[in-house]
Amino acid sequence: MSRAGPVRAFVALLVASAAIGCRPPESSSPSRIFLIVVDTLRRDHLSCYGSPLLTPNIDRLAQRGQLFTHAVASFHQTSMSMAALFTGRTPSIESGDPARTLHWNGRTWCGLIRFAQSKGLEGIEGEDSCIPGGVPTLGEEMKRAGYRTVGVTANPYLFRPAGFDRGFDEWVEVGARPANREEIELVDASTRTAAHVTRALLEVLDRLPAENLFIYVHYLDVHDYALLDRTYRESVSAFDTAFGELLDALEERGLLENARVVFTSDHGEQLDEKHAPAGLTLKQLANRVGKHLGNPSFEPVLRVPLIVSPPLAEDASRFLRSEDVFDLIRHLARPVEAEAGELGPDELFLSEQFYQTLRKGGWKATRRREDGTLYLFDLHNDPGETRDVADAFPIVARNHARRIDELADRLAARGDQPARLSPGDRERLRVLGYAE
């Protein structure tokens, strides 16, 4: 399926779906596939990845599964990384001018507006969502493979009408959706904890036939650590306990038999690491929920866990991005050929508001938009990203700059873009603590 023609591809998908109706998955496919996303979870805070912080319940899944050691988020923020995971596309806010990005709003913050049929303020029906209507989604792909689809999420970035619900037979949004600005300030993160999410999930599963299910569930507890008056480590530990309760409930119902579980995160978190070499101007400002964003994205916000249980017969050390998880899950449902993406297999391109970053193999370059200054890091010898080695490796730096130009041009969405945040945009930002 070509990514150059998303509208034609979507029409073809609808025709194919109609043709197969409710056909069950192939006999070799698992009866149930679980995609479990834990928002803002760093892999180096899990004991199965070597952390001294004990996470026995996540370890329990890892012990009977496969640990992928080089999984990374496609972006440092939920809507972009989850759009990549839900579509297999590389997110981008490139405008065609390296000095400026697209305006940051609910049409652009999935990084996929280049696929939209209409890019103006008054987009056609179906094109006002964050994921354009012409781009097939994971939910649709799993329905096409014969699964009944269930989605339960506590992250308002993914709430309707963003487009993440497309293709899901059951879609449950957990937590308060403020009706107005006055209520926004009263939002209580305790209404969207793991207990609430798991309860909502089990209520759906208990009334559905147990066979041929694709279940996506998204937890927000680790993201909300400051709002819940915890440290990051305390929040990870608390979630691990809640995850054990989820596993117990699924096992009691027999739902983990002949099932696959994919456990991952949308992105990591910047804590107390220091990365800045001389001259690098950071835009990492903590907001009211204690989160530190990218700009530029250093490795702590990118390295995520990826556990698949039971294990797969493939190399667990291979480089996997959020968009690659899309193909991994599709392949669990039925053998399909992975689609050709815009990036090379060892590349990660991050299109941020203040920087453009390219990770390729063991090298990582980040270029400041305002003046074009490029910084280069040798991840093998400097995993903490503390030393700029652009002057010491000028050829590597030039090659990365050239590749950044190529990708920024290829991933650009040109034309008029909506310039302002809608009231709905502001609501979602404030609920998550990304705006005051």
What pLDDT is attached to residue 429?
Answer: 60
Assign 167 a pLDDT band (cuts: 50, 70, 90). Answer: very high
Average pLDDT of the segment spanning 41-64: 98
- CATH class of the region 6-268+303-342+411-432: alpha beta
Prior bond of 161 cis (ω within 30°): yes
What pLDDT is attached to residue 273?
Answer: 87
The answer to pTM > 0.85 is yes
Q: Is the pLDDT of residue 1 over 60?
A: no
What pLDDT is attached to residue 61?
Answer: 98
Q: Is the pLDDT of residue 398 over 90?
A: yes
Q: Is the pLDDT of residue 178 over 60?
A: no
Q: At what angle do helices 232-252 and 194-205 cross, to 10 degrees?
A: 20
Q: Which residues contact 335 (CB under 8 A, 6 or more apart)?
A: none
What pLDDT is attached to residue 129?
Answer: 81
| Other residues' Cβ atoms within 10 Å of the Cβ of residue 391 | 8
Tell me the backbone φ, ψ of residue 392, rounded to 5 degrees.
-75, -25
Q: Is the pLDDT of residue 179 over 60?
A: no
Q: Is the pLDDT of residue 411 over 70?
A: yes
pLDDT tens digits, one per residue of 83-102: 999 999 999 999 999 889 99
What pLDDT is attached to residue 417?
Answer: 53
Average pLDDT of the segment spanning 227-237: 95
Which among 182, 194, 188, 269 is positioned nearest to 227, based on CA atoms? 188
Q: Is the pLDDT of residue 2 over 60?
A: no
- Cβ pair 178, 145 in contact under 8 A: no
Average pLDDT of the segment spanning 127-155: 92
pLDDT tens digits, one per residue of 309-327: 999 988 999 999 999 999 9
Mean pLDDT of the chain: 86
Q: Between residues 12 and 335, which one has the greater pLDDT? A: 335
Q: Is the pLDDT of residue 118 over 70?
A: no
- Cβ pair 433, 291 in contact under 8 A: yes
What pLDDT is attached to residue 49?
Answer: 98
Assign 430 a pLDDT band (cuts: 50, 70, 90). Answer: low
Concatenate the DSSP letters of all residues of 271-338 into one string.
-S-----TT--------TT-----SS--GGGTB--EEEESPPSS-TTS-B-HHHHHHHHHHHHS--PP
For the chain, what percent of residues have pLDDT higher than 90? 69
**321 CB-side CA count, 13 A:** 25
Task: Give the chain's length.
Answer: 436
Q: Is the pLDDT of residue 14 over 50?
A: no
Tell me the backbone φ, ψ of residue 364, rounded to 5 degrees.
-145, 125
| Other residues' Cβ atoms within 10 Å of the Cβ of residue 242 | 19
Q: At what angle do helices 232-252 and 56-63 cross, to 10 degrees?
A: 50
Assign 337 a pLDDT band (cuts: 50, 70, 90). Answer: confident
For residues 262 and 151, give the distance between their C-alpha atoms in angstroms, rounded to a whole number. Answer: 14
pLDDT tens digits, one per residue of 249-307: 999 999 999 999 999 999 999 998 888 888 888 775 444 455 566 889 999 999 999 99
Q: Give the least confident one: 108-122, 340-354, 400-414.
A: 108-122
Assign 141 a pLDDT band (cuts: 50, 70, 90). Answer: very high
What pLDDT is attached to residue 415?
Answer: 61
Q: Is the pLDDT of residue 180 over 90?
A: no
Strands 148-153 and 363-368: unpaired
- Cβ pair 138, 86 in contact under 8 A: yes
Average pLDDT of the segment spanning 100-127: 73
Average pLDDT of the segment spanning 409-413: 95
Q: What Rg do the C-alpha atoms of the chain give, in angstroms?
A: 21
What pLDDT is attached to residue 281?
Answer: 81
What pLDDT is attached to residue 291?
Answer: 58
Q: How far apart are the first and last CA of the chain?
A: 42
Q: At what angle do helices 78-87 and 322-333 cross, to 10 degrees?
A: 30
54-58, 104-108, 153-157 — most confident range: 54-58
- Cβ pair 368, 355 in contact under 8 A: yes
Number of H helices and E strands in the chain, helices first, is: 10, 11
Angle, CA 345 vertex, CA 99 and CA 163 arms, to 5°: 65
